[in-house]
């Protein structure tokens, strides 16, 4: 999937967390497209996101798609 094809409601995770188990990986839902390949993300577990120092606004090159709303 191309980086620019994220849509609101997609389930995403941060790239590069391959050694962590899935229950310790920051997972979020895209809540807004801010333009310029930036997205506002609502993290499902705010404690894990805070532990890894993640912000609510994320660049598309830093995230990968887990499940798309368009496929439902």
What are the chain's domains? Answer: 3-66 (2.30.30.30)
70 has pLDDT over 90 = no
pTM: 0.84
Instruction: State residue 62's pLDDT score.
Output: 93
Q: Contact, 29 vs 12, CB < 8 A? A: yes
**How buried is 30 (Cβ within 10 angstroms: 0-12 exposed, 13-18 middle, 19+ buried)?**
buried
Token representation of residue 20: 């962590």
How far apart CA 29 and CA 11 sit, in angstroms, is: 5
pLDDT classification of 65: cutoffs 50, 70, 90: very high
How far apart CA 51 and CA 72 sit, in angstroms, is: 31
């Amino acid at each position: 999937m191309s980086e620019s094809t994220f849509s609101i409601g997609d389930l995403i995770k941060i790239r590069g967390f391959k050694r962590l188990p899935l229950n310790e990986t920051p997972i979020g839902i895209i809540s807004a497209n801010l333009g310029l390949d930036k997205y506002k993300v609502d993290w499902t577990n705010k404690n894990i996101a805070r532990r890894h120092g993640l912000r609510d606004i994320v660049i598309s090159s830093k995230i990968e798609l887990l499940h798309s709303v368009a496929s439902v």
